[in-house]
Structure 1
Amino acid sequence: MKRLFPQLPTTAIATALVGTLLLSSCASYTGQTNAPDDPNRTRTGALIGAGIGVVAGLLSGGDATERRQRALVGAGVGGLAGGAIGAYQDRQEAELRRKMAGTGVDVVRQGDNITLNMPGNITFGFDKSDIQPQFYPVLDNVASTLQQYNQTVIEVAGHTDNVGTDAYNQQLSQRRADAVAGYLSSRGILRDRMITVGAGKTRPIADNSTDAGRAANRRVEITLVPVRS
């Protein structure tokens, strides 16, 4: 029987330091305008047409995100407030879209949060947690942007398809998240900015009954949450 997706809420209410899941629309946010020449526009539309939904959003929860934000403010990382938050994320989103164009990585905006969806077929081999060498340049570009825009908490979440046991998939997804976080740390990203979480097979964005759907579900998501003052 073909797997059906859970019903997603159509709106998400954002409050200060919210770390709950933000599941809004399937369309990518493109900042000030939905430019027709947006490099990710065509690919995102193709994915949605194939039945692939939005990214899962934050998984670590509000408490973990808030604690990390307080630690960064205490360490001297200035927080953002009011309209400065949206403008800051607009600039970071535009830079990420420019650098991720043509890489297979989707950039999705949900409120003030930005998520990079990195499919497993370009980051890891099947059933592997070692980053594929050809993906290093992409992560290098991500790291350079995160260094430039350092007023964010970074959640790295690993996901799998539904092949295998729950326990195995959870461990595999955590190893993948740890591998990406470890690589970013080796490129100068402060480890205290990062939270890693393994979601296993609990957050599919596509139909696990097809090869294409399973490939889409084997992924890592990097979500950038602004540090609020």
Structure 2
Amino acid sequence: MLTFRRLIIAATALTVLSGCATQNPYDNQGQAQNSSGMSKTAKYGGLGALAGAVAGAAIDHNNRGKGALIGAAVAGAASAGYGYYADKQEAALRASMANTGVEVQRQGDNIKLVMPGNITFATDSSAIASSFYSPLNNLAGSLKQYNQNMIEIVGYTDSTGGRQHNMDLSQQRAQSVATYLTSQGVDAAHLSVRGAGPDSPIASNADVNGRAQNRRVEVNLKPIPGQQYQQQQ
């Protein structure tokens, strides 16, 4: 009979194999891989499986080896499911936001879109600029296709003017984006808005270009707690 230690090794091997076996359709684009060449799908699935192995062994005291293998399989599949979903969503967003001025960032489980002030809002305004409609339309289309996210919209301002005015203005900017996205069919139940005013600048407020970068909107896409993610076709 295999010892518990040998079964944990087997569970770890299952982790690696299950990650490698999940084909990422965007491997050739380089968008959804880390520096080692492993897709985020494989990485999340592998880490989930290893954690599941430990948890499964702890729960099944009578047959720790069996519990480890079951825990690895279940947790690995769930983690890889979200990783695969996020990989595809990230690649689709990068394609739809190409040449729009919107930056797409991947931060672990989350995807962030940074929309700078030179395409979003004029100084001291929460009215959507004409140059902003095309990126927002692209975003709305993507969010309707990939609709299994919590969507946090955060508005920012530059440092010009009083703090309370900027806090109110940033909230209004975030709300303007949310209102437009829902008008285009994005599910309002998954949306939240927040105004951060001049906090967390990404450039210097000492010049016009820096203030334009700070006068931005960020859209944060996060997994829905408890959501079972299926492979998006």
TM-score by length of structure 2 reads 0.64
3-state SS in 1 of match to 2:202: coil
Q: What is the SS of the residue equivalent to 1:161?
A: coil
Counterpart among 152, 155, 173 of residue 155 in structure 1: 152
Determine which structure has greater relative contact order: mean sequence separation of CA pairs < 8 Å that are 6+ residues apart, divided by chain length.
1
* Contact 1:30 1:109 (8 Å CA) reproduced: no
Within a 5 Å distance, the mapping from 1:11-22 to structure 2 comes to none
- Percent identical across equivalent pairs? 50
Q: Give structure 1 stretches of 5+ with no counterpart.
A: 1-28, 35-79
User: 2:138 is matched with which residue?
Assistant: 141
CA separation in 2, counterparts of 1:194 and 1:112?
A: 18
Alignment correspondent of 2:179: 182
Letter in 1 for 2:107: Q
Partner of 1:212: 209
Say which of 188, 192, 196 aligns to 2:193.
196
Letter in 2 for 1:172: L
2:80 maps to 83
Aligned to 1:114: 111
Is the 1:113–1:225 contact (alpha carbons within 8 Å) kept by the matching residues of 2?
yes
- 2 CA distance for matches of 1:81 and 1:88? 11
5+ residue gaps, structure 2, are 1-29, 36-76, 227-233
SS at match of 1:121: coil
8 Å Cα contact 1:154-1:193 kept in structure 2: yes
Structure with max Cα Rg: 2
- Deviating beyond 4 angstroms after TM superposition, the runs of 4 or more aligned structure 1 residues are none
User: How far has the Cα of 1:33 moved from its partner?
Assistant: 5.8
- Equivalent in the alignment of 2:33: 32
Matched with 1:54 is: none
CA deviations 1:106-138 (Å, max 9, x no partner) are 001100100110011201112110101232121
Query: What amino acid sits opposite 2:178 in the alignment?
Result: A
- 1:203 is paired with a residue whose SS is coil
Structure 2: distance between partners of 1:133 and 1:81: 41
Query: Which residue of structure 2 aligns with residue 223 of structure 1?
Result: 220
Q: How far apart are residue 205 of structure 1 and its match?
A: 0.9
- Shifted more, 127-136 versus 175-184: the winner is 127-136
Aligned length in residues:
156
CA RMSD of aligned residues (A): 1.6
Deviations 1:15-54 (A, max 9, x none): xxxxxxxxxxxxxx931267xxxxxxxxxxxxxxxxxxxx
Q: TM-score, normalised by structure 1?
A: 0.65
CA distance in 2, matches of 1:215, 1:113: 25
Question: What are the Cα deviations for residues 45-96 of structure 1, in whole angstroms up to 9, with x where unaligned?
Answer: xxxxxxxxxxxxxxxxxxxxxxxxxxxxxxxxxxx93111111111000000
Distance, in Å, in 2 between the alignment partners of 1:227 and 1:185 is: 18
* 1:81 and 1:228 in contact (8 A); partners too: no
User: For the Cα contact (< 8 Å) 1:143–1:188, is it kept in 2?
Assistant: yes
What is the CA–CA distance in structure 2 between the aligned matches of 1:133 and 1:217, rounded to whole Å?
A: 19
